[in-house]
Amino acid sequence: MNAKDIPLPKDWPNLIRRAMIHAVSLAHFDIICAWSRTADSDIQTVRLKGEIDKLQTELALKENQLRIVSLRFSRVPAKNRPHYLPTERMEILNHKAACGWNLKQAAEAFQISVETIAAWLKRIDDDSLIKIPIPWNRYPAYLQYVTQQLKSLVPRLGKKKIAEYFTRSGLYLAATTVGRYIKNEPPDKPPEPEVEQSADGELRAIKSKHPGHTWTVDLTVVRNWWWIMDFMAA
C-alpha cells in the first residue's frame, strides 16, 4: 500500500497540529540524548563535533525566535513603533560595524529606514541622540568598555588579538590587562546616591561614590540697603 492510498482520519487538520508539536518534542529529547553521549566521549573530536552541533542548533532556534518576533513587530506601522533609546542606537551602530552591513542591511535587520541609520552616523557626536551605555569619566574604564565590546561582538578574538588592535591605534596594552578587563563585570548603570534618613524621615547625608555622582545647588539671598528701603516703603 502506498502512502497516498492511506485514508485520512476524521479531524485530520486538528491531528496534524497536535502531531507536529509531539514530533518536535520527541526530536528535542532525541538530540539531548545525542549531545549527552558526545559530551561523555573520550574522543576529543567527537566532543567537539557535539559542541558544534549544539551551538548550531541553538543558533537556529534563536534565529527562528527572532523571525517570529520580527513578524509581529513588522505589522506595526512605522510611525507607531517605539523609538530606540540613545544607548540602543549606539549598540545598533556597533552591531552594524561588527557584521559589516551596509545601511540597507542594518535598516532591514532593525526594522527602521535607511535614512534613519544614515542620520545616526552623521550625528554620532550628538549626545542627545547617541550615547554609550555608561558615561565613562575615566580613561581606564573606557578601555575596559571598548575591550568588553570587542569581545562581546567578536567572541573569537583573544586577549592577544585585542591587545594588537590597541597597539595599532597607538596605545600599548598588555595582554594580561586585556584579560583582566574581559573578566571584570561591567556595571549596568552608575549606582544611585545613597541617602540616609532619620527616624522622622528627614534627610541626613548623601553618599557619592564617583565623580559627578551628586550635584547640589545653593541659593543665597543677599539683602542690601535698597531692598530694605523698598520693604519699609511697602
Domain assignment present for residue 91? The answer is yes
234 is a domain residue: no
Same domain, 143 and 199: yes
C-alpha cell at 21: 508539536
Q: How confident is the model at residue 119 (pLDDT cuts 50, 70, 90)?
A: very high
Among 56, 75, 94, the domain boundary falls at 75
Domain hosting 200: range is 139-213
For residue 39, being part of any structural domain is answered with yes
Q: How does pLDDT run across 201-215, given as a tens digit for each residue?
A: 555 556 666 666 676
- Answer yes or no: do 126 and 167 share one domain: no
233, three cell numbers: 516703603
Place of cell 518576533: 69
- Residue 220 and residue 230: Cα distance in Å, rounded? 19
Tell me, what's the pLDDT at 102? 92
For residues 191 and 126, membership in a common domain is answered with no
Confidence check: pLDDT of 137 > 70? no
Please give the Cα distance from 137 to 209 (Å, whole number).
Answer: 13
Give the least confident one: 23-27, 91-95, 187-191. 187-191
Based on the fold, state whether residues 155 and 95 are members of the same structural domain: no
In a domain, 222, yes or no: no
Contacts of 103 (CB under 8 A, 6+ apart): 114, 117, 118
45 lies in the same domain as 60: yes
Q: How high is the pLDDT of residue 155?
A: 80
219 within some domain: no
Question: pLDDT at position 118, please?
Answer: 93
Task: Judge if 164 and 127 occupy the same domain.
Answer: no
20 vs 221, more confident: 20
Please say which residue of 75, 98, 117 terminates a domain.
Answer: 75
**91 and 42 in one domain?**
no
Determine, yes or no, domain membership for 25: yes
The answer on 112 and 92 residing in a single domain is yes
* pTM, 2 dp: 0.59
SS3 85: coil
Looking at the structure, tell me whether residues 14 and 71 fall in a common domain. Answer: yes
Average pLDDT score over the chain:
77
Grouping H, G, I as helix, E, B as strand and the rest as coil, residue 64 is helix
Domain boundary among 75, 103, 119: 75
In a domain, 223, yes or no: no
For residue 104, what pLDDT is reported? 92
Q: What is the per-residue DSSP string for 112-134? A: --HHHHHHHHHTTT-TTT---SS
Cα 188 from chain centroid? 10
Return the percent helix, strand and coil in the chain, to nearest 5.
60, 5, 35
Q: H or E element: which one contains 146?
A: helix 139-153
For the record, the C-alpha cell of 98 comes out as 561588527
Whether 18 and 51 map to the same domain: the answer is: yes
- The residues, any chain, with a CB within 8 Å of residue 51's CB and separated by 6 or more, are 38
* Residue 69 to residue 219: CA distance in whole angstroms: 52
Q: Which residues are CB-neighbours of 32 under 8 A, at least 6 positions away?
A: none
In a domain, 229, yes or no: no
Number of domains in the chain: 3
Q: How confident is the model at residue 25 (pLDDT cuts 50, 70, 90)?
A: confident
Same domain (yes/no): 122, 146:
no
Query: Do 96 and 53 contact (CB within 8 A), yes or no?
Result: no
Query: Do 191 and 207 fall within a single domain?
Result: yes
Distances (CA, A) of 165 to 98, 125, 181, 191: 14, 23, 15, 31
Using pLDDT thresholds of 50, 70 and 90, give the confidence band for residue 28. Answer: confident
pLDDT in tens, 47-81: 898 899 888 888 888 888 888 888 888 888 877 88
pLDDT in tens, 192-203: 445 555 555 555
